[in-house]
Amino acid sequence: MSDFFNPRHRDRTYAPDDNLGREQPDMRQTNKVSWFEMPADDLGRASSFYSNVFGWRTPPMGTEGAYALTTAADDSGNPTEVGAINGGIHRRANEADAGPVVNISVDDIDATLERIVAAGGRIIQPRSEVEEFGLSMALFADTEGNVLGIYTSGGA
């Protein structure tokens, strides 16, 4: 699992949105897609591509030389628009690291892994601790073979 993106900003609630007249949702809400990861063989090339095509900021992030991918964001890379999520590009680790992964926040990672298996999914990467960001994470495949990530902050 890459360590390129720090979801600790999910502890914040965002300022009122002028278009909706209400505060944006707390990004720590569970069972929500929180960020995405995309593997790349050439990080600079991938960074340039997304910057040139979509105008995304792609600053280096984390200890692995990865890049963040941000849409409308503050100086810390936190989304500033309702519905926006950010993500990152990390160096492809192996052939199994084939495509993008969306990451979903959960309350209890172990209970969620049990429900995944009971529903016909399978665990790709068991729970692991990402101490740099204070997270527990796991990867799973759904019944259709799609790989997704789940995480929880604070060791739950």
- Domain at 100-156: CATH architecture: Roll (3.10)
- In CATH terms, the fold of domain 34-97 is 2,3-Dihydroxybiphenyl 1,2-Dioxygenase; domain 1 (3.10.180)
Residue ranges of domains in the chain: 34-97, 100-156
What is the model's pLDDT at position 106? 92
Average pLDDT value for residue range 77-83 = 75
pTM: 0.67
Condensed to tens digits (0 to 9), the pLDDT of residues 108-135 reads 999 999 999 999 999 999 999 988 778 8
Distance CA 99, CA 95 (A): 10
Q: What is the pLDDT of residues 14-69, one digit of tens each?
A: 333 333 343 433 444 578 887 888 888 888 898 888 888 888 878 777 766 777 77
- Which tokens sit at 94? 């192996």
> Per DSSP, which regions of the chain are E strands?
16-17, 22-23, 32-40, 60-61, 66-69, 86-91, 101-105, 122-130, 135-141, 147-153
